Structure 1
Amino acid sequence: MSQVLVEANGVTRTLVLNRPKQLNALSSEMITCFLRCFTAYEEDDGVKLLIVKGKGRAFCAGGDVAAVVRSINNDSWKYGAHFFRNEFLLNYIIATYSKPQVSLLTGIVMGGGAGVSIHGRFRVVTDSTVFAMPETALGLFPDIGASYFLSRLPGFYGEYVGLTGVRLDAAEMLACGLATHFVSSDIREGRTQTVGECLRREYRMVCHVMRGDFSRDFFEGCRAILLDRDRNPKWMPPRLEEVHDEVVEKYFSKVDDPEWEDLDLPPRRSHGRRLVPKL
C-alpha cells in the first residue's frame, strides 16, 4: 500500500499522507515521495495548486523518529542524518515554493507534520486540530525550521511553544499566526470529497433515518407537514441543545444489517461539476 496517495483533479494535485495506523508519521519513503512530487509539480504548468492532507484522525504526528532510532542502533548514525537531510530539504522547498499549497490540518499536527504544512502558504485548521512541537520531551529540540517560524510568533510565544511542547487548538493557532483559516470539520469533509463520496455518506445517513435507528423525527415531520398537516411536529428531543454529538456521529456509521451494503456507484471519468459563485 502506498504511503502517499496522489489525487489529480484539473489543475490541483492532492497529496494524502497514508499511514493512518501510525498517525501518518513521516517515513523516509513518504519524504522521498513528497520531494519528487513537489519538484515535478513546480515545473509542470498544468499544476496550479497543491493540497496536503492526512488520512484518518491525524494530519501528521511527526517524523517516524522511532524508525530512525532503531536504524541507528542497528547500523550507524548516517541513516538518521540522511533522514533529516531529506526532511529539511523538503521543508525548504515547501517554504520557498512558487505555487500555493493548502494544508488541511485535521487532528494531530506535531513536529514533522508542522514541517510539511506550516511553511506552506495556507494552513487550514478545524475544531479537531491539535498542534504541538514536542521534541524537547524526546531530548531533542524543535527542528524542521521551527527556529524560523516560532521566532516570528508574537512576543515570547514561540519560546513558550518550543520549550514546553504545549498543545494548541485551532483558535490559538489562528491567534498567533500558525494557521491562516478555520473551517468547521463537518463542513470541510464534504468540501474535500467527490460527489460520489458525499452520496455514499448521505446514503448511510438516510438508511439510518429510514430504519428509525436513532430518531423517528423524519416520520414525525412528514406526519405534521404532509399527512395530518397540523404543522406542529413533536421533535424528540424538542430542543437542538439537547442533541448530543455522540448521536449525530452514529448516523455516519454502517447500518447494522448483514444484508445491507454501502452505496455502490460505477466508476466515472468526472468527479462532479464544480459550483462557480457569481458574488
Structure 2
Amino acid sequence: MDVIDKCFSRPTVEDILSALEKEVTTTDANRAGDEQLASTIRSLKKASPMSLKICLRSIREGRVQAMDECLVPEYRISCHVMRGQISKDFREGCRAILWDKDKKPKWKPSSLDLITEHMVDHYFSRLDGDEELKLPQRCNLNVFANAKL
C-alpha cells in the first residue's frame, strides 16, 4: 500500500508512470508486488493517454466533492467524450475491441506529452447546446442516505 500511495500521489500521469517504473527497477526482484506493478504499468501504457489525463483529474477533483458535485462533471466528460471533438479515442477503443477485434487502438493524441492542459479542460467545460445535468433537489438527502445504510 505504501508503494501505491507513493506512486499514485504524484501530480501527473507521467510522474505516476515514472514512479511505478522506478519502483520496479529499484526494488528486490523477489518482492511479491513486482508483477502487479509491471502489470499496472502495461495497462497504463496501453490505455488512451487522453483518458488517463481526464481520469486522473476527475479523481483528484472528485475526492473533495459531494456526490452531486461529482455527477455534473462526470456527465460533462461523458458528453464530450461521445462528441469526439478533441479526441476520438472512445470510438477508436470500441473499434479495436468490439468491431475489428485487433486490440490495437491507435490513440490520437498518441502520447501523454502531446496532451495539453487546455485539451483536458475541454472535457470539464460546460456543454454547448446541451442541457447541463440537473439533479433534483433533495432536502432530506442525508436522512435518505443514512436510511439506506
Length-normalised TM-score, structure 2: 0.53
The alignment status of 1:266 with 2:99, answered yes or no, reads no
- Shift of residue 232 of structure 1? 0.4
- What is the rounded CA distance, in whole Å, between the counterparts of 2:60 and 2:107 in structure 1? 28
Q: Which residue of 2 aligns with 1:59?
A: none
Give the direction of change, closer, same or farther, for the CA distance of 1:204–1:185 in structure 2 (3 Å limit). closer
- What is the rounded CA distance, in whole Å, between the counterparts of 1:235 and 1:187 in structure 2? 22
Deviations 1:154-193 (A, max 9, x none): xxxxxxxxxxxxxxxxxxxxxxxxxxxxxx9764421121
The alignment status of 1:238 with 2:110, answered yes or no, reads yes
Of 50, 61, 65, the residue aligned with 1:193 is 65
- What is the rounded CA distance, in whole Å, between the counterparts of 1:226 and 1:186 in structure 2? 26
- What is the rounded CA distance, in whole Å, between the counterparts of 1:185 and 1:209 in structure 2? 15
Q: 1:74-153 alignment to 2 at 5 Å?
A: none
- What is the rounded CA distance, in whole Å, between the counterparts of 1:234 and 1:217 in structure 2? 8
- Shift of residue 202 of structure 1? 0.6
Deviations 1:43-102 (A, max 9, x none): xxxxxxxxxxxxxxxxxxxxxxxxxxxxxxxxxxxxxxxxxxxxxxxxxxxxxxxxxxxx
Q: Which has the higher helix share?
A: 2
Deviations 1:110-133 (A, max 9, x none): xxxxxxxxxxxxxxxxx7xxxxxx
Deviations 1:200-252 (A, max 9, x none): 11111111111112111100000001111100000001112211111001111
Which protein, 1 or 2, shows the higher relative CO under an 8 Å CA cutoff with sep ≥ 6? 2
Percent identical: 51
Q: Which residue of 1 aligns with 2:89?
A: 217
Q: Any idea what SS the aligned residue of 1:251 has?
A: helix
Give the direction of change, closer, same or farther, for the CA distance of 1:204–1:226 in structure 2 (3 Å limit). same
Q: Which residue of 2 aligns with 1:248?
A: 120
Larger radius of gyration: 1
Give the direction of change, closer, same or farther, for the CA distance of 1:217–1:186 in structure 2 (3 Å limit). closer
The alignment status of 1:207 with 2:43, answered yes or no, reads no
Length-normalised TM-score, structure 1: 0.29
- What is the rounded CA distance, in whole Å, between the counterparts of 1:256 and 1:191 in structure 2? 26
Count of aligned residue pairs for this structure pair? 90
Q: 1:148-159 alignment to 2 at 5 Å?
A: none
- What is the rounded CA distance, in whole Å, between the counterparts of 2:71 and 2:110 in structure 1? 29
- What is the rounded CA distance, in whole Å, between the counterparts of 2:102 and 2:57 in structure 1? 36
Give the direction of change, closer, same or farther, for the CA distance of 1:221–1:250 in structure 2 (3 Å limit). same
RMSD: 2.5
Q: 1:59-74 alignment to 2 at 5 Å?
A: none
Q: Which runs of 5+ in 2 are unaligned?
A: 1-10, 12-55
